[in-house]
Amino acid sequence: MFVSENLTVNEKGRLAIGGVDTVELAENYGTPLYVMDEQMIRKNLRRFHESMQKFYDGKGLVCYASKAFSCMEMCRIVASEGDGLDVVSIGELYTALKAGFPVEKIGFHGNNKTDEELKFAVENNVGHIIVDNISELNRLEIIAADLNKKPDILFRIKPGIDAHTHNFVKTGQIDSKFGFALETGEAFTAVKEAINCKNLNLTGLHCHIGSQIFDISPFEEAARVMLAFIAKIRNELGYEIKGLNLGGGFGIKYLNSDDPQPFENYLEKVSKVINEECERLNISRPFIYIEPGRSVAAPAGITLYTVGARKEIPDIRTYISVDGGMADSPRYILYQSQYEAIVANKASQKRSERVTIAGKCCESGDLIGENMPLQHAETGDIIAVCATGAYNYSMSSNYNRLQKPAVVFVNNGEARIAVKRETLDDIIRNDV
Ligand code: LLP
């Protein structure tokens, strides 16, 4: 009935997530509130790692992309599932290390890592570093030599694939700030250089073509392009690339009209391409990594708000204003992303009107969504926005000096706090 399968209506006619009444969550923890369903996170991770087992003989690692949603509790859950982690900054790496995440399963990304970040990663023996450009390669070689270490590295490659998704979340095409280009020969030259680096161990290649992709064919195409490059390196340089990271980007359902592929289909189809191509090119099957972020976290989360003002503008629209907005939910103002919303305390009622849900920030564009079907909402009602578990908390800000909301995890009917709500003193804690 709702867009995410962990949402139900309980005997009080209220929305429940993971068996917990959302109106009680709002009462107990306040709003705005991020709520994450632990069982759903685990289930999504398992769908990926079980299909790695089933379709690729377990010769791979699922590395959750923590940029989608990161906090220490999330890192602990991913670690307990035996999966790996993709981090993209010293902050995400620090969070993972403090949560006790097994360092050998962490891959460190970023198109412009600072020397401080590289040094921190090498000192802490991070599993591998995904090198984005020649400047980074050269700096990393010096840092590793200074520390007397030899970290494993992967190269981020632009496979030249144009995935059909929003321009801001495409990354695989040649005009992208990420990675080495294949077409220009840049990637091949860099591989030759890396092979000669005494303090670096080039173990693999990486590509990521974009995000919220519904089609599997661009992923299959990316795998083909990358394997052809692995074969070229073997044939022309006699060097064996053992690992292939195929990135993330699997689409999810934000609206009932969205029709993403089941996550299992992805590895089923891509593994088939890898097996066929490796045989054809006469190369060994690489160890593969995948980096799902959104598909793990988004469907597991909701955001709860309290309705303040209701403003009806005849023949134009009705604004329902809530106590959060673009500071905690920036995806509408960035990408006009669409979400399903539910009046949590009226969840059993029919959606009777179409409204614009507005935030409380001083910007006209600060909306949760427009033309959203909703139950009749009035002051004091609780609104749940669905499938907000990815790229909302992680992209939240303190715009207008708003305090960042708390994050609560629910698990089989129980709720616990994972990130505390910011206080007013948090807002000024670094002011002098
Ligand atoms: N691996 C790499 C190298 C990435 O850059 C990303 C996402 C992922 C994995 C995970 O992709 P996912 O499975 O979550 O699609 N802020 C945007 C999404 C940006 C994605 C950035 N990179 C949004 O809110 O839609």
Find out whether the beta carbon of 295 lies less than 6 Å from any atom of ligand 1. Answer: yes
Q: What is the number of the ligand 1 atom nearest to the C-alpha of 247?
A: 1
Q: Which of 155, 263, 294 to mutate to test the pocket of ligand 1 (most atoms within 8 A of CB)?
A: 294
Domain ranges for the chain: 7-37+299-427, 109-292
For 111, which DSSP code?
A: S
Give the pLDDT score at 210: 93
Q: Is 110 in the pocket of ligand 1 (CB under 6 A)?
A: no
* CA 211 to ligand 1 center in whole angstroms: 5
Residue-wise DSSP of 276-317: HHHHHHT-PPPEEEE--SHHHHGGGEEEEEEEEEEEEETTTE
> Which fold, 109-292?
TIM Barrel (3.20.20)
Task: State the catalytic residue, choosing from 63, 75, 197, 362.
Answer: 362
b/e string for 93-124 if b means 16 or more Cβ within 10 A?
bebbbebebeeebbbbbbeebeeebbbbbbee
Residue 248 Cα to ligand 1 midpoint, Å, equals 7
Q: Whose CA is nearest to atom 24 of ligand 1?
A: 391
Q: Is the CB of 346 under 6 A from ligand 1?
A: no
* End-to-end Cα separation, the chain, in angstroms: 51
* Overall CATH class of domain 7-37+299-427: mainly beta
Per-residue pLDDT of the chain in tens (432 residues, 90 and over written 9) = 899 999 999 999 999 999 999 999 999 999 999 999 999 999 999 999 999 999 999 999 999 999 999 999 999 999 999 999 999 999 999 999 999 999 999 999 999 999 999 999 999 999 999 999 999 999 999 999 999 999 999 999 999 887 766 555 556 677 788 999 999 999 999 999 999 999 999 999 999 999 999 999 999 999 999 999 999 999 999 999 999 999 999 999 999 999 999 999 999 999 999 999 999 999 999 999 999 999 999 999 999 999 999 999 999 999 999 999 999 999 999 999 999 999 999 999 999 999 999 999 999 999 999 999 999 999 999 999 999 999 999 999 999 999 999 999 999 999 999 999 999 999 999 999
pLDDT the model gives residue 174: 76
Contacts of 299 (CB under 8 A, 6+ apart): 4, 5, 6, 40, 44, 252, 253, 387, 389
- Can you point out the beta strands (E) in 142-242? 152-158, 180-181, 201-206
From the CB of 405, is ligand 1 less than 6 Å away? no
Answer whether 219 contacts ligand 1 (Cβ < 6 A).
no
What is the distance in A from the centroid of ligand 1 to the CA of 293?
6
CA distance 246 to 250: 11
∠ Cα 184 186 189 (to 5°): 130
Decide whether any atom of ligand 1 lies within 6 Å of the 68 Cβ: yes
Token readout for 324 is: 């959060």
Q: Is 294 in the pocket of ligand 1 (CB under 6 A)?
A: yes
- The confidence score (pLDDT) of residue 166 equals 57
| Of the candidates 264, 288, 208, the residue with the CA atom closest to the CA atom of residue 45 | 264
Residue nearest to atom 19 of ligand 1 (CA): 169
Tell me what pLDDT residue 304 has: 99
Query: In the 8-state DSSP scheme, what is residue 105?
Result: G
Per the listing, tokens 């791979």 go with 60
Q: Is 207 a catalytic residue?
A: no
Residue 199 CA to ligand 1 center (angstroms) comes to 30
Specify the DSSP class assigned to residue 172: S
Encoded tokens for 311? 């403003």
DSSP, res 322: E
Q: Which tokens go with 96?
A: 């993972």
Nearest to 131 by CA among 201, 66, 179, 64: 179
Return the ∠ at Cα 295 (arms to 336 and 272), rounded to 5°: 120
